[in-house]
Structure 1
Amino acid sequence: MSIILVVDDDDQLRKSFHKLLTEEGYTVLTAASGEACLLEVREKTPDLVILDVQLPGINGLETFKSLNRIDPKLPVIIMTAFGTTETAIEATQMGAFDYVLKPFEIPEMLKIIEKAIEAGRFMRSPVDMDVSPDETAHDALIGRSPAMQEVYKAIGRVSSTDATVLIRGESGTGKELVARAIYQYSQRREKPFLVINCVAIPDTLLESELFGYEKGAFTGAIHRRIGKIEQAHGGTIFLDEIGDMPVTLQSKMLRLLQEKSIERLGGRETIPTNVRIIAATNRDLEKAIAEGRFREDLYYRLKVVTIWLPPLAKRSDDIPLLAEYFLARYAGKNGIDNPGITEEAKTLLKGYRWPGNVREISNVIQKALIFNRGTPLSPEDITLSVTEKPSVKETGTRDLDEALRQMIRKELMNPSDKHLFDACIDRFSGILIGEALSMTDGNRSRAAKLLGLSRPTLHAKIDKYKIRIETTVKE
């Protein structure tokens, strides 16, 4: 469960934050001064600090500087009144995750909090490489095939440099893990690592997200906003799905790479930058260039070093290792014994095409584990969970229905409970609620929304089914 420290000398605001964030599933600490904040951080190691600029004693900016010295990877959100916006901007330029003006909208604040915690997890969570599946509890690049050995070598060679890296490969091959590994082995590993998904952010917002804007740049721009590139000064920006970046923004990215400078939206000041760019795409960039959808000069600036991630179908010998890794990972995450997997099931897994790559085999193993009865995963377990269709997503409902039917048939053939109907409903309900909590990192409010339940109803069912709430393990 993520721990959030709220620092403000307003007692009522601290109480309001405590109530709001506790209901969202977070563990909440509070402090009324900068000195108390630093003490809490040293003793409790929170995942996020929400820090007011105006504090008694040590002010918010000086407190942030001290926090940065204690833990440079600790995300900090600055709260400020309109009159102290410049101080908040200064903190953001020094590495604060973001700042919000008081009074703020609660839904927007919750979104920023969620993004900040995710950014902190990316910076702090190691990515292991070339390890045995049973030797890691971390995110990992798994595989011993010649193709994966080349990937490991490339990461090792490029990490110690400041070269721009372009990671290419099909969807689901693990491009984000490669980017995180490069960052974690680089000389910039104590500075920010920020992820920008060029598809997830609307075109109209992507420019201001990256480059920031000046007051009056557009309707609603009531103050200056620092973009992610300035915010990540000294660190690394990972531009995911860069093949989908609008052409209108590509010229600005080219200037960043060529001149190491940017201009904020609506501004004329040239701002020097010091960031490393790692980009990734599953697009055919050569085709996009030929069709005028991607700038050729930007393409050559990005591909100083190119790392190709092979599709799973071209490294089938790694499939058993991946199956063992995901089996151990999901068993640990769900607090159940690892049942293992038979050699016959491994052979069957190697025979599939895996159009969804590593992401697909992860989903298949998770599904097989959910419906497994404690014995090693068999070919039957795999057959119920895998599909030869282009993607699991397209046929997910049909696969799930069939898997449920198979489980029910087994129970009806060998009933182990006098109240079989209630037992089956309870088992499925427990799995459903457990997965919703797992997907939301233990956040009960978001899990309730996913399930279409009220929070009191969800709480009652958690107690009824004795569900253990597992959250992301903090490294």
Structure 2
Amino acid sequence: MHDPAAIPVMIIDDEPHLRITAGQTLELAGYTPEPYASAEEALEQLPPDFPGVVVSDIRMPGMDGMALLREVRLRDPDLPVILITGHGDISTAVEAMREGAWDFLEKPFAGERLVEVVRRGIEKRRLSLENRALKAELEAQQSAPGPRLVGRTPAIQRLASMVQRISQVDADVLLFGETGAGKDLVARAIHERSPRAGHPFVAINCGAVPESTIESELFGHEKGAFTGAVERRIGKFEHASGGTVFLDEIESMPLSLQVKLLRVLQERSVERLGANVPIPLDIRVIAATKVDLKAAAEAGQFREDLYYRLNVVTLPIPPLRERREDIPLLFQHFAVVAANRSGLEAPPLDAAGISALLAHDWPGNVRELRNLAERYVLLGSAFGYRLDALLEGAESEAGELALPQQVELFEKSLIDQALARHRGRVSEVSEQLGLPRKTLYDKLRKYGLKAEDYRQSAEP
């Protein structure tokens, strides 16, 4: 929770007694009142990303409340403006709401009513600013070449470093990871960071293409090569010339076809069905599997020679449960993507939400987390934005971790979230978490967190 005392509330009114009365009421409620006698004076002091709300009378000499509302909305349409109207002036209140006012107060109003309207406006402002920060981070990520591997854990940082190195070497790659771990994203990241980025990326799910057509899909065919071949077809390998072929679920490829794939990899050429002329290929092949191909080869379920040909460079992709500290960051990333796509807001995580995310075992890995984030954005309001309800009572296996480990993981995640939210400003993190600065610094050392890393990540 944010400390109300750190949140300013602009009070704009040409009547001194109203500024004083409203200011005292808000101060007693824990907010920091900022009184101004005119709209012009207040606008001069209004900073970008003002964290509070604006409360203004409508009837004022010079710039009135409606003109102030329009100017504020031009500067920041997400900043809540609460207007004070005269008794019975319903038409003005309706006009104010139509112009985009957050709410209005009718004179005379009770102090409790003022505090409640301000409280709701500040909560709305907090959500808007946090969502804005997430969007800015997402845009920064998208400006980098290729898909970004989101995460701060050593496992994902090692993977990102290996992806960057391998992308510059024109070698075939084998990706190994559980279903939903992100093998397709890693394959695209390698392609987009490589010199082949301007050429096709052709993805083929070997387990989804019928065995009767997969050979034609991969290698193509000539007209009349078989019944139904009424015209020439360019295969996936040939179409990918200059680019990358991604063979997902390579373990599902029929053994008979594995022989031909081995020949393609060795000779870098392909023959269409019904033709005898080899077509040279300029491609990189990235294969992905969720099973141990060496064990499958030993069991006679996969060709051993093809396994060794693919195993030049192998990248293991860690499952989500082995990098739990990345889960809240990944969830927010996917929520912002979903919010941008749907035009909705992505409410930031609270402590209960982070706890629910860390407690789940994620058998579906990153794919399951992304689906949950999309449900959170689209359906979350119906469940009160409770992630435990959205998880539909899925049984947690986080009990495999000892209680002290679970507590430390949760604590580290909360500190990580606060550092990211406040761009590494330790004083603000200390205030938000209610920790003395020395205690916070001790915990930063304990968890290997550095405030300067979060300040650097916020730079353009």
Given the two structures, how large is their TM-score scaled by the length of structure 2?
A: 0.53
Question: 1:141 is paired with a residue of what secondary structure?
Answer: coil
Aligned to 1:373, the other structure's residue is in SS state helix
Residue equivalent to 2:338: 330
Q: Deviation of residue 358 (structure 1)?
A: 0.7
Structure-1 residue corresponding to 2:359: 351
Displacement after TM superposition at 1:227 (Å): 1.1
Call closer, same or farther: CA 1:151–1:386 in 2, change over 3 Å: farther
Letter of the structure 2 residue corresponding to residue 231 of structure 1: H
The letter of the residue matching 2:336 is: A
Instruction: Specify the alignment match of 1:283 in structure 2.
Output: 291
Task: Find 2:268's aligned residue among 255, 260, 263.
Answer: 260
Task: Report the equivalent of 2:186.
Answer: 178
Q: In 2, Cα distance between the equivalents of 1:247 and 1:307?
A: 24
Aligned counterpart, 1:96 = none
1:191–1:235 CA contact under 8 A, matched in 2: yes
Distance 1:381 1:390 in 2: 13
Q: Which residue of 2 aligns with 1:314?
A: 322
Question: Equivalent residue for 2:164?
Answer: 156
TM-fit CA distance, 1:221: 1.8
Contact 1:134 1:325 in 2 (8 A): no
Do the aligned partners of 1:238 and 1:279 also contact (CA within 8 Å) in 2? yes
Kept in 2, the 8 Å contact 1:340–1:375? The answer is no
Q: Which amino acid aligns with 1:294?
A: F
Amino acid at match of 1:384: L
Distance 1:254-1:165 versus aligned 2 partners, 3 A rule: same
Q: Answer yes or no: is 1:143 the counterpart of 2:147.
A: no
* CA drift at 1:276: 0.8
Structure 2 gaps, min length 5? 1-135, 398-460
Distance 1:208 1:351, change over 3 A: same
1:298 correspondence with 2:279: no
Question: Could you report, residue by residue, the CA deviation over 1:403-437 in whole angstroms, capped at 9, with x for unpaired residues?
Answer: xxxxxxxxxxxxxxxxxxxxxxxxxxxxxxxxxxx
CA–CA distance in structure 1, aligned partners of residues 139 and 359 of structure 2: 24
CA distance in 2 between counterparts of 1:195 and 1:250 reads 17
* Cα offset, 1:230, TM superposition: 1.3
Distance 2:311 2:317 in 1: 14
Q: CA deviation at 1:133?
A: 5.3
Cα distance per residue 1:119-161 (max 9 Å; x no partner):
xxxxxxxxxxxx9557445854211111101110111111011
**Structure-1 residue corresponding to 2:394:** 388
Aligned ranges for residues 10-89 of structure 1 at < 5 Å? none
1:215 aligns with 2:223: yes
3-state SS of 2:233 partner: coil
Unaligned runs of 5+ in 1: 1-130, 392-475
Q: Deviations over 1:29-58 (max 9, x none)?
A: xxxxxxxxxxxxxxxxxxxxxxxxxxxxxx
Cα distance in 1, alignment partners of residues 383 and 375 from structure 2: 15
User: Residue 345 of structure 2 contacts residue 377 of structure 2 at CA under 8 Å; is this kept in 1?
Assistant: no
Q: Per the alignment, do residues 137 and 262 of structure 1 end up closer, same or farther by CA in structure 2, a change over 3 Å counting? A: closer
Equivalences for residues 107-122 of structure 1 within 5 A = none
**1:99-110 alignment runs, 5 A limit:** none
* CA gap 1:343/1:136 in 2 versus in 1, 3 angstroms: farther
Tell me, in whole angstroms, the C-alpha distance in 1 between the residues paired with 2:312 and 2:167: 13
Change (3 A) 1:335 1:221: same
Paired amino acid for 2:223: K
Could you give the per-residue CA deviations for residues 154-194 of structure 1, whole angstroms, max 9, x where no partner exists? 11111011100111100111111111111111111111111
Separation in 1, partners of 2:239, 2:139: 38
**AA paired with 2:282?**
N
CA distance in 1, matches of 2:335, 2:232: 48
> SS of 2:175's equivalent?
strand
1:256 Cα deviation from its structure 2 partner? 1.0
Q: Residues of 1 paired with 2:365 and 2:240: CA distance?
A: 31
Query: Residues 376 and 145 (structure 1 numbering): CA distance in 2 closer, same or farther, change over 3 Å?
Result: farther
* Higher Rg of the two aligned structures: 2
Report the Cα offset of residue 317 of structure 1: 0.5
Partner Cα distance (2:232, 2:383) in 1:
59
CA displacement at 1:275 relative to structure 2:
1.0
Between the aligned partners of 2:150 and 2:175, the Cα distance in structure 1 is 17
CA distance in 2: counterparts of 1:135 and 1:248, whole angstroms: 46
* Residues 1:238 and 2:233 are matched in the alignment: no
Residues 364, 382 of structure 1: 8 Å contact kept: no
CA drift at 1:207? 0.4
CA contact (8 A) 2:271 2:279 kept: yes
The superposition leaves residues 253-276 of structure 1 with CA deviations (integer Å, 9 ceiling, x where unpaired) of 101111112222122222222111
Change (3 A) 1:381 1:389: closer
Deviations 1:355-402 (A, max 9, x none): 00011111222223333339994xx333333443599xxxxxxxxxxx
Kept in 2, the 8 Å contact 1:208–1:227? The answer is: yes
Q: Distance in 1 between matches of 2:392 and 2:383?
A: 18
Q: Equivalent residue for 1:396?
A: none
Q: Residues 345 and 209 of structure 1: is their aligned pair in 2 closer, same or farther, counting only changes over 3 Å? A: same
Count how many residue pairs are aligned between Structure 1 and Structure 2. 259
Q: Could you tell me how far apart the structure 2 residues matched to 1:304 and 1:387 are?
A: 43
CA distance in 2, matches of 1:322, 1:246: 36
Q: Is the 8 A contact 1:137 1:329 kept in 2?
A: no
CA displacement 1:39-95 (0-9 Å, x = unmatched): xxxxxxxxxxxxxxxxxxxxxxxxxxxxxxxxxxxxxxxxxxxxxxxxxxxxxxxxx
Does residue 248 (structure 1) correspond to residue 256 (structure 2)? The answer is yes
Which residue pairs with 1:198 in the alignment?
Answer: 206
Aligned twin of 1:125: none
Contact 1:143 1:322 in 2 (8 A): yes
- Please report how far the alpha carbon of residue 241 of structure 1 lies from its aligned counterpart in structure 2 after TM superposition: 1.0
Distance, in Å, in 2 between the alignment partners of 1:335 and 1:347 is 27
Contact kept, 8 Å, 2:247 with 2:288, in 1: the verdict is: yes
Q: Structure 2 CA distance, aligned partners of 1:279 and 1:271?
A: 21
Q: Distance in 1 between matches of 2:222 and 2:284?
A: 24
Q: Report if aligned partners of 1:134, 1:328 keep a CA contact under 8 Å in 2.
A: no
Q: Distance in 2 between matches of 1:137 and 1:184?
A: 12
